[in-house]
Structure 1
Amino acid sequence: MIRGCGGVGGDLPTQQPKHDFTCTDSSELIQFTPVFGQTTEPGDGAEAVLDKSGQVIEFRQQRGGQIPSSGSVLSATGNAVEWLRNYAQLGSKIDINTRVLANGWDVSRRDESLGVINGGPRLLRNGKIDITAFREGFHWPENPASNNLLTIRLILLESDQLLTLLLSWIKSIIPGIKQLVLTLYP
């Protein structure tokens, strides 16, 4: 399952971003760390349990089992199962290199606290209108009712007239917007 879609190599129903939607891919290799919980999702496939150094300490013929508190689990489905069986032999070491990309650029990981926030679409860039709702998967032509609600945070708003102008402007530039939620901060 790929939340928000936007993967590669067989995601269904689309490989394009699709906000608040779950796509599927029958062939995946996923690393689960203790951050995900105590166990992996059960199902067909295979899993390799790794200690903190990346050494394979257990191989499971099905998915679903404990995630070690100081290690991880590589969980495979579809074609990825064969790769895992070939390369995750007991006692072997698997080096995992993690890269975080944004618009094709490698995002520096200075520490392990880097996280991803699900947000968007962008409305402005360098003070100019630059709405990315279509490109970022926030607008679904096949289901216009799915258009996401827009949350705006206004700081130091001093005029009702400004608020009315802002709301009119937003409705005019975002096709099909159904609802606005405003949080006002003094």
Structure 2
Amino acid sequence: MSTDFDNFYTTAVRRVVLYLYAACGDRSDAQDIAQEAFARAWQHWPKVSGYEDPEAWVRTVAWRIMSNRWRGLQRALSTRIRLGPTDDVAHGPSPDRVAVIDALQRLPRPQRQAIALHYLMDMPVDEIAATTGVPAGTVKARLSRARTALGRLLDDHEQEISDVATHA
């Protein structure tokens, strides 16, 4: 059992982390969530290993873990807003990375998931449909809407940068 799981983990972990990174925008969180999902797969390996696509099971579990964390973060953020600002000094990522992550986060979750699976996991539409349990036409619509929204959001970001540079 151990060797079988080790081989599965070695083969799948990079793809799962990449998928989660695209969805949540933070590499460390993506790695933590992936580890938790793989730990759950290990706990249930006799059952999970019998599935046609154990990696899809891990991605689904990881997506749920990430969604639960977001709900917790939203509650924490609401609390911080009520309590007022802190004196924390932030040293963050580049403005372009922030813009892409912000744009992805502004997409509805189903669109963000479709984008991550299609462009980062190189999954075809039919496979995304099977993984997410929605018709292929729905996946195509989500991808189209997400691309349009991302283009608009990133164009808005470029315009903001241009406006700031012009007035500086």
Determine if the TM-score, normalized by the shorter chain, exceeds 0.5: no
Category of TM-score, reference length = shorter chain: under 0.3
The structure richer in strand per residue is 1
The structure richer in helix per residue is 2
Q: Mark the structure with the bigger radius of gyration.
A: 1
